[in-house]
Each structure stands twice: as structure tokens, then as C-alpha cells.
Structure 1
Amino acid sequence: MKLQLIRNATLKLDYAGRTVLVDPYFAPKHSQPSFAGRSPNPLVELPLGVDEILAGVELVIVSHLHEDHFDEVAMELVPKHLPIICQPGDEAEIRKAGFTQVSPLTDIIRWQGLTFTRREGSHGLGPVLEDMGAVMGFSLEAAGEPSIYWAGDTVLYPPVADLIRATSPDIIVTHSCAAFWNGDLIVMDAEETIAVCEIAASSLVIATHMEALDHATIGREDLRRAAESRGIPASRLLIPADGEVLALGAADFRGPSA
């Protein structure tokens, strides 16, 4: 399989012969308002053109409708005929934007040999959830491919930790920029990302959603230093750059003794 980090949460997956785009966010640099009063968003341009990003895409996943996960530019440029999987409750707005094949992921969806399973997340804890609203993660499986758990915009809280222990995914994708909203953590920080690595001793963790938005409080080097100080090697925690392609095979999923 191949996983390409585009920017922020946007991923392009080549998996079991299919190409899937996750949370398309196509806004040009500094074209959107600030979240934290530091800078307009996004902080960086896309690493490649939208046509190249969309080339070959057969299915789109939209985890929730925050503007840094499915923005107006993406709503305009993503072809309207492409099937979209979204969280329940978002389908009406996505259809309103002209998309004709929209399926809410209430539990399990099987599509072209791929199995998507809805996973719960919490975009922060406590009162901040009134602002953040509902989100979802998902697990992805197919014959002959590593299993993936895409955690999405969630902090590490007991249901996420319990899921990791119960399912032992080969790959875990985290959002790890330590973004805050009104003083509350709304995605994983370095400590929580390291805890994921420790809970999932046989998983490969891929940290994304970094260095793209002004309410983030750590960057890639901060996370790398924190992980190394706790004995997490770079081979177990990948922190890709925007545009980077990770080609992952069986040798990448043999746990810490490999």
C-alpha cells in the first residue's frame, strides 16, 4: 500500500488496488481566517496541484465538516460523481453541495473489496465539544493489506485506547499537532501520541495534521524530540512531510523486535 500525506488531515491512499482520498482540504495559503489569532490559515500551500491530488481517486472520505477537513474549494473541485463516505448527519449538507453518491458510515460499509468500520472519537473533552461537534474515525481493512485505524480529530481518551488494544491495527494514523480551542486540547499532543505508540507496541504510528493551522502548538521536530526522549524510534513513529509518499509493506508491521 501507499499512503501520501497531502496537507493537514488530507491523505491519499493506494490500497488493495483502489485509490481513496481522505478529508480533502484545498484552500490556498492564508485564504481562510485565523483560529488562534496568530496567522490566516492554512499556513502552507498544497505541496502539489489539485489535479494531481485528484488523479485516480475513486472514493472520498469526509470525517466531519470543519473547514480544514472539507472546505469550500474542495467541495467545488472534487468531482460530484465520486462516492463519498461521511459521518451520519453530514450527508444532507454534502448532497446539497451537488454530490450524488453520499453514504453515512453508521457501522460498516463494504466497497470494492474494502471494509470501512466507523470508530468513535472525541474532538476534545468537556464543554469544548459543544463547539467542536461530532467527529468520526474509521478502520480500513482489505485482503492482503495491513489494517489501518485512522483516528481522526480526537484526543486520546479511553474508547480510543480500548479500541487500539482490542483491534491491534497494523497502522494507526493520528492527528498530533496539539491544537487548542479556547484553552482546551482538541486533538492529540506529543504526550498522547507517545502513549498511542506505547499502547500499540506492534503498530506503526503515523502522525499527521501538523504545521498547517495556527491553533497548533507543536510541530514535527517537537514531536520527534519528545518521542525519542521516551525511547520511541523513528521506525515506529513516522512523521511525514507534506507531499511525502510512504510505501509500506509487510516488513513495516513486525513490531518492536523487527
Structure 2
Amino acid sequence: MDRRSFITRGVGLLAMGGTATGVAASPAPAEQATTEQVTAEHATAGVKITWFGASTLQIEFKGRTLLADPCFGEGEAAFVMGDPNEMFDLATGPSVKAHARNTPLRRSKLRAPDWVILSHAHEDHFDQSAARALAPEVPFLLPPQDVAKIAGHGFTALDPVDWGESRSLAVGTDSGSARIDITALPAAHSETPEIAEVLGKGNGYWLRFTDGDWSRSIYWTGDTFGTPPVVEAVAAMGRPDLMIAHLGGVGATGSLGKISMGAEDLMPFVAAIQPKQILPIHHTTYDLFLEPITALVALNGEGAMGLDVLASGSTLWLD
């Protein structure tokens, strides 16, 4: 089986919209006005992180917006992808099917992004609806392996960032010193190297938000396990203020084996890198995610980890 071929989609479902619609086109409802008031109150307080289900994150800092792994599809056919939870012949790949979304998408909270950042381009991380909805000129930071695929959707401002490479994004403040520094880190989509090779090379990211003397860091894992090379790369960056971890135990019942962490995989990873807070994502939204988030809550016992479990559409402030 070719790399990433297990997510090959049906031809008839790939048509792109001719114009950018969705996120930027809808008028702001009352709920969004309330959000804007809160944003103003926290304008100098830190980083605003809103989880929209799956691995979709909206990260706001000093009036600029990063959109991570956008997935906008809803209903019984939220996105189309092969099913890694089934047993199949590795030479041919799994059945390509529609996957349902179980939680609502809080569209009223979405803002038009200044940048899109992808951990990788599997359809549970960048779905067909997002490919149609986003403006074709929006800048992307993404793994080099996914450039051709995303360009095929009509996007033109693609900046491939390989492991160890960094980008600095300027954000507007009176001081002129605010920025977001982003470094791509290794991600191991499977603990079995041969399976990881099939799934393709994705990214984790270290994001540092700086405004003068103020600074906070986020380690966004992407789909990875805490393998020794991953732990080594993350530890070299320092201790993260927030670890955003992809869970769900995807693939545990299928031919590929587990291809995203479960709670028992996360625990030693956390012990190794010692994040101050942990935001688990990549759970609950789809039936694709096999392990419920309650498994991690139970393992956390009396709260030894600084665990923040959000409902889809909820916000965490990193002050």
C-alpha cells in the first residue's frame, strides 16, 4: 500500500467550491459579539485557544488567528476517508466511507484565519468541507509531504515546514515586539516504523507566543506517540506551558494497530516532558475515535496532571 493511500477518497466527492465561503462569509451573531467583548478584555492577557472538536483549534493572540487542522463537516457524512479501525489487506487499504460527526460545530465562534497550520492532511484533520470553505489565498504552514495534496485543492500560499525548521509570525501590538515562533517537531503516527512510513510524515509543533518580556509555549503533538526521538526533540525545546495532545486510540481494532495515543500512551509521555497543563483533543467528535476521554480522566486519579478537558466549542486561556 502506498503512503497515505488508506485515506484515498471517492472521486465524486472532491469537487471544490468556486469561492471562499463559510467562515468569513457569515454575519457575526450575538454570541460572537460576546466573544469579541471577552477578547477585548483579554487583549493583553495571553493566548486564547478554542477547541472545535477533532483536532481543530482556533488560537488567537494579539488580534491574529491561527486555525489548526480545520474540519468543518457535520452530520452523518462529515468527511470521507478510509477506516483505520477495520481489518483489511494492507496491500489494498481499508474501505473508503463517510464518517459521522457526533458533536455540533460551533460555527459562530469561528473567525477568518490569518494562517492555517496542519499537522498532516488526513481527512480527519483537514476535511472536504474545510477545503471548500477556506479562501484559496489563506497562508498555510504544513508538512512538506502534504504540499501537493493541499495545492490540489486550489490553495496557493503554502509554506512547507520540515522537522526542526521554524517560522516567525509577526503580530500587531503597540510595542511592536509581539510574535509567534513555530517550530516543526517529529511526529510518529505509529510506534511501528513500517506503519508510520505507510501513514506518512506529519508534524508536531512547538509554538512560542512572545510580547516583550511575556512568553508562553504550547506543544501541539499532532498524531504521534511519545517515542524516544519525539521525546528527545520536545525536551530540547524546554518545558511546555501547555501540551495539546491527540488521543482517541484510533486504529486499535484494525490492521494498522493503534495510530493515535490512548490514555495509557499519554501518561509516560507526560512524565517525560512535564507540561504544566494538558489539553486533550482528537477524541469524542467522531466514532473514529475509539477511546473515550473518560479513560484519561480516570487515569488522572486525584488530579496529578494539570488536565483541562473541554467541551467542543469551549475556550482555554493561556495567561
TM-score range, shorter chain: 0.7 to 0.9
Please tell me whether the aligned partners of residues 73 and 101 of structure 2 are also in contact (alpha carbons under 8 angstroms): no
2:222 equivalent to 1:152: yes
Q: Match for 2:118: what amino acid? A: V
Q: Distance in 1 between matches of 2:129 and 2:275?
A: 38
1:255 corresponding residue in structure 2: none
User: Structure 1 8/202 Cα, relative in aligned 2: closer, same or farther at 3 Å?
Assistant: closer
Q: Deviations over 1:214-239 (max 9, x none)?
A: 342311212101111xx5446x0112
Within the candidate set 238, 255, 258, 1:182 is matched to 255
1:253 corresponding residue in structure 2: none
- Secondary structure of the structure 1 residue equivalent to 2:125: coil
Please tell me whether the aligned partners of residues 164 and 199 of structure 1 are also in contact (alpha carbons under 8 angstroms): no
Please tell me whether the aligned partners of residues 74 and 105 of structure 2 are also in contact (alpha carbons under 8 angstroms): no
2:11 corresponding residue in structure 1: none
Q: Distance in 1 between matches of 2:167 and 2:233?
A: 18
Q: CA deviation at 1:125?
A: 2.3
- Secondary structure of the structure 2 residue equivalent to 1:74: helix
Within the candidate set 35, 50, 69, 1:4 is matched to 50
2:81 equivalent to 1:23: no
2:241 corresponding residue in structure 1: 170
Q: Distance in 2 between matches of 1:201 and 1:22?
A: 23
- Secondary structure of the structure 2 residue equivalent to 1:199: helix
2:184 corresponding residue in structure 1: 118
Please tell me whether the aligned partners of residues 108 and 116 of structure 1 are also in contact (alpha carbons under 8 angstroms): yes
Q: CA deviation at 1:165?
A: 2.9
- 4+ aligned runs moved over 4 Å, structure 1: none
Q: Match for 1:135: what amino acid? A: G
Q: CA deviation at 1:114?
A: 1.5
2:163 equivalent to 1:92: no
Stretches of structure 2 that go unaligned for 5 or more consecutive residues are 1-46, 87-96, 171-178
Stretches of structure 1 that go unaligned for 5 or more consecutive residues are 250-258
Q: Distance in 2 between matches of 1:188 and 1:84?
A: 26
Q: CA deviation at 1:130?
A: 4.1
Q: Distance in 2 between matches of 1:57 and 1:132?
A: 28
Q: How many residues align?
A: 243
Q: CA deviation at 1:145?
A: 3.4
**What TM-score do the two structures reach when normalised by structure 2?**
0.70
Q: Deviations over 1:177-228 (max 9, x none)?
A: 1111425111111112222332233521111100123342311212101111
- Secondary structure of the structure 1 residue equivalent to 2:99: coil
Q: Match for 2:73: what amino acid? A: A
Please tell me whether the aligned partners of residues 72 and 105 of structure 2 are also in contact (alpha carbons under 8 angstroms): no
**What TM-score do the two structures reach when normalised by structure 1?**
0.86
Q: CA deviation at 1:135?
A: 1.0
Identical residues among aligned pairs (%): 26
Please tell me whether the aligned partners of residues 9 and 22 of structure 1 are also in contact (alpha carbons under 8 angstroms): yes
Which has the higher Rg, Structure 1 or Structure 2? 2
